[in-house]
Structure 1
Amino acid sequence: MKSLFDLSGQTALITGASRGLGQYFGRALAGAGADLIVTSRRCEDLAPFVSEIEAMGRKVIPLELDVRDHGSILRMAEVVEAACDQVHILVNNAGCNVRKPAFDVSWDDWNLVLDTNLRGSFFVAQQIARGMVRHGYGRIINIGSVTSVSGFAGLGPYGASRGGIKQLTMSLADDWGKYGITVNCLAPGWFRTEQNKVLYEDRAWVEYITDRIPLKRTGEPHDLDGAVVFLASESSRYVTGQTLLVDGGVSTGATRATSRPAVPIEKDDEK
């Protein structure tokens, strides 16, 4: 069974790895044996993370990448092609959010979020998949969200982008499956990150969202470790086009327990 999750000898490229979940994905993949290529808009921001991964005994290449700039994507792909024999795994993690009521969202707000989360993910995948096709193997993991399948007020552009990621994942899976490439979407629920840390400063909001989660807690970054390694490894070789929700069950539509009458438990008289 261990061999199904072993990434030794493989290289994973992770976008948006200067902070947040991108780094947790990197730690999990490196822990499973993968070497890394990590990107950020400012390469110097990657230095602490690079040192951390090297201390784990893994090779790591930091690269500058702005996923909103097609030229930057093309330059990154050229450097990767020259520096690495093969990229086995792509984690399309780079993303951003603008949290506003729908009436307050500007044209520029919309473009910022969609260009980063959706358009950027497509064109990064397009470039990296070219090499995967030549080798007849690849694992592409697009990062979605619980908003890929559920609606939340104040998250119009973000939800549209993450819903688009879900649909894009299915399309690319159908497009590239014949080349030995799987494409899946990893969709976290409510995890505390730099993007949403302001929400976690609101105790009432934390209590509200926690009450909607069947497991009664928001996510811890390590809750994603097994999922990302699964989707990156041989253990998921017959899984493609899927959205894997790691959300504590919030996407079930759970509501406050006090809003529903308790279900009586029938006793078994024979015990």
Structure 2
Amino acid sequence: MLRFAGKTVLITGAGRGIGKAIALRFASEGAALALVSNVESDLLATAEELAATGASVRTFVVDVSDHNQVEAAVGAAVRHFGRIDILVNNAGIAWEEPVLGITPDHWRKIIDVNLNGTFWVAQAVANRMAEQGGGVIVNMASTNGLVGEANYAHYNASKGGVVLLTKTMAIELGGKGIRVNAVCPGYIQTPMSEAIDSPEFIEQYIRAKIPLGRVGKPEDVAGVFAFLASDDAAFITGETIVVDGGQLAF
């Protein structure tokens, strides 16, 4: 089903993990793709895989925390594709460390990428969407933006900010034909999570916290992004959709 034929999707953090899965999902439904990452090797590998499917792909190496780089990339994407219909605001980073040990550099870096970067990209794209008469923005939040988790104070704060940024943008931009929602994944197994957690920790986490008995896959999240970007969600805005295998039901 080519729900996104004739539409352009800009995806940040598209080089691996959930961002890559989202790119593959949108490509399978006919979208043209503007892919953004700060890791060129990951980005080019993803673009090559997508191009082999026949998708129209353009890549942009960008640090989303840098406003000037964001503006330049969004402008270039619009010039190349003509418009951006959908923004998937996915770029993010995380570290596990206790609140008393968080350094100023680590605090600033996570806020700069996860919150400031989300805002810079959303603002740049929303300005173009307002000019073209509308669009859809889907931000990557987290269950960590809804409830606390020890040793992730900076990450939790950044994702809580994304949740309220999403709601505020939805209120302001609805009249311009722009829907804004967020997705809140729980434990999704990605290269980032695997760098933090051991297999033993993951097994214990599943037993203790996830009713469905497994961690999530990037594809579990990609489908929700596609739904929220589609016309099936035409009357949904300002919402945060949880994808966590039932974890927050406890």
Q: Aligning the two structures, in what range does the TM-score lie when normalised by the shorter sequence? A: over 0.9
Instruction: Find the partner of 2:111 among 103, 114, 128.
Output: 114
Structure 1 partner of 2:60 = 63
Structure 1 position 26 matched with structure 2 position 26: no
Compute the RMSD of aligned alpha carbons: 1.4
Identical pairs, percent = 36
Residues 199, 206 of structure 1: 8 Å contact kept: no
Larger radius of gyration: 1
Separation in structure 2 between the aligned mates of residue 99 and residue 40 of structure 1, nearest angstrom:
22
TM-score w.r.t. the length of structure 1 is 0.88
Residues 200, 206 of structure 1: 8 Å contact kept: no
Q: Please state whether the residue corresponding to 2:210 is helix, strand or coil.
A: coil
Q: How does 1:34-113 map to 2 (within 5 A)?
A: 34-113=31-110
Structure 1 partner of 2:236 = 239
- The structural deviation recorded for 1:148 is 1.3
- The structural deviation recorded for 1:210 is 3.6
| CA pair 54-202 structure 1, distance change in 2 beyond 3 A | closer
Residues 189, 248 of structure 1: 8 Å contact kept: yes
- The structural deviation recorded for 1:219 is 0.5
Q: Please state whether the residue corresponding to 2:171 is helix, strand or coil.
A: helix
Structure 2 partner of 1:259 = none
Instruction: Find the partner of 1:230 among 227, 230, 238.
Output: 227
Separation in structure 1 between the aligned mates of residue 36 and residue 173 of structure 2, nearest angstrom:
24
| CA pair 200-18 structure 1, distance change in 2 beyond 3 A | same
**CA deviation digits over 1:176-235, x for unaligned, max 9?**
000111000011110112222145424144323443111111102221232111011111
Q: How does 1:1-271 map to 2 (within 5 A)?
A: 6-252=3-249, 254=250
- The structural deviation recorded for 1:169 is 0.2
Residues 65, 120 of structure 2: 8 Å contact kept: no
Where in structure 2 are there 5+ consecutive unaligned residues? none
Separation in structure 1 between the aligned mates of residue 107 and residue 36 of structure 2, nearest angstrom:
24
- State the AA in 2 paired with 1:181: I
Separation in structure 1 between the aligned mates of residue 225 and residue 78 of structure 2, nearest angstrom:
24
- State the AA in 1 paired with 2:166: T
Residues 199, 205 of structure 1: 8 Å contact kept: no
- The structural deviation recorded for 1:53 is 0.9
Structure 2 partner of 1:265 = none
**CA deviation digits over 1:144-200, x for unaligned, max 9?**
111011111001000000111100000000010001110000111101122221454
- State the AA in 2 paired with 1:86: R
Q: Please state whether the residue corresponding to 1:71 is helix, strand or coil.
A: helix
Separation in structure 2 between the aligned mates of residue 156 and residue 81 of structure 1, nearest angstrom:
36
Q: Please state whether the residue corresponding to 1:190 is helix, strand or coil.
A: coil
Separation in structure 2 between the aligned mates of residue 186 and residue 204 of structure 1, nearest angstrom:
24
**CA deviation digits over 1:39-79, x for unaligned, max 9?**
11243431211111112221000012111111111211221
- State the AA in 1 paired with 2:65: R
- State the AA in 2 paired with 1:72: Q
- State the AA in 1 paired with 2:152: L
Where in structure 1 are there 5+ consecutive unaligned residues? 255-271
| 79-88 vs 196-205, which moves further | 196-205
Residues 149, 251 of structure 1: 8 Å contact kept: no
Residues 192, 200 of structure 1: 8 Å contact kept: no
TM-score w.r.t. the length of structure 2 is 0.95
